[in-house]
Amino acid sequence: MKEHRERHTGGKSYSCTQCKKRFISRMYLMKHMNVHSSKYKCSECGKCCQSNQALIRHSRIHSGDKPFECNDCSKRFTRAGHLVEHSRIHSGEKPYNCHVCSKAFRGSGNLHRHMRVHTGDKPHKCDICNKAFRESGSLHRHMRVHTGDKPYKCSLCNKSFNHYSNLLRHKRHTHSNRRPHECPYCGMMIKTNIELKRHVRTHTGSKPYSCSHCSDRFTRLDQLKTHLLKSHNEGTWLTCRICQKKFSRSGDLKEHLRRHGGRSRMFAVIVQSVSIQQLNA
């Protein structure tokens, strides 16, 4: 009963002695220990799985086998659980409810990840800058900041981006003439709702971003971040790998790298979190 309750509360009483990862039951911990013992190891890529079933499911990544097919849209999946969860898109069923905020989800995994919003748990940590994330996918996307990987390429101008959302934003801003948002004060047509909100502040004088260290206020969040870095040494610096000079904005760093002979593509940007406590140490 104790282990069952922890599935709802997000509690994790069982800790791995080798990697400190925590689990809600002894059974999950024992399965996890198989990863460290390399009992179920993939012969293709060397990944260690928790069980033989997990190894069989993983092997489908290499073989491309998707034995589970949706009866409604014919989409195929490598795992039966993924098909069951997908089928709820068609039925509209959301059987998993958060006991804190009553939000409903199609799958137990989605509910489990959502519970971290309430518990504050961030188990996925970056080895380079120690920034922590609630989901492994968020950590994977964050690592592109350090590696410089930009897998999303614009089909119109071949410019590349590290996030798909940045690619979509680029297409709207650069390649689309559609301006669906109208300013209620001057009638100016604007491409995005975010840009409209920023523009409206030029009429209202609103400055919603306030500095926690002084009385200064700003109309835009990036202005506040730049102020915190330059005036209070708090936030994230972008560092040139060639000469170690620091910048508060990525555009300034790119312009600086061009002065090194246009070799910016050869160097990945290292992001370092600098706090007041670290500076005073």
Token couple for 280: 């005073």
Q: Name the average pLDDT for the chain.
A: 82
Q: How confident is the model at residue 11 (pLDDT cuts 50, 70, 90)?
A: low
Residue 194 pLDDT greater than 90, yes or no: no
Mean pLDDT confidence for 6-10: 64
Q: What is the pLDDT of residue 21?
A: 81
- CATH superfamily for 66-121 is Classic Zinc Finger (3.30.160.60)
Evaluate whether 162 touches 172 at the Cβ level (below 8 Å): no
- HSE (CB half, 13 Å, CA atoms) of 192? 11
Residue 272 pLDDT greater than 60, yes or no: no
Q: Which of 8-17, 29-38, 64-73, 172-181 has the lowest mean pLDDT?
A: 8-17
Q: How confident is the model at residue 214 (pLDDT cuts 50, 70, 90)?
A: very high
**Common-topology check for domains 66-121 and 128-176:** yes
Evaluate whether 150 touches 160 at the Cβ level (below 8 Å): yes
Q: Topology of domain 128-176, per CATH? A: Double Stranded RNA Binding Domain (3.30.160)
Q: How confident is the model at residue 275 (pLDDT cuts 50, 70, 90)?
A: very low
Gap between the Cα atoms of 252 and 110, Å rounded: 39
Beta strands in the chain (DSSP E): 14-15, 22-23, 40-41, 48-49, 68-69, 76-77, 96-97, 104-105, 124-125, 132-133, 152-153, 160-161, 181-182, 189-190, 209-210, 217-218, 235-239, 246-247, 270-274
Gap between the Cα atoms of 173 and 98, Å rounded: 38
Percent with pLDDT over 90 in the chain: 15
Residue range 157-181, pLDDT digits in tens: 988 888 888 888 888 788 878 888 8
Residue range 99-153, pLDDT digits in tens: 889 899 988 888 888 888 888 888 888 888 888 888 888 888 888 888 888 888 8
Q: What is the pLDDT of residue 135?
A: 84
Residue 203 pLDDT greater than 90, yes or no: yes
Q: What is the pTM of this model?
A: 0.44
Nearest-10 Cα torsion for 167, 173, 174, 175? 90
Evaluate whether 203 touches 186 at the Cβ level (below 8 Å): yes
Phi and psi torsions of 143, nearest 5°: -60, -20
Q: How confident is the model at residue 7 (pLDDT cuts 50, 70, 90)?
A: low
Q: How confident is the model at residue 261 (pLDDT cuts 50, 70, 90)?
A: low
* Domain extent listing, the chain: 1-65, 66-121, 128-176, 229-280
CATH for 1-65 (3.40.50, 1.10.10, 3.30.70, 3.30.160): 3.30.160
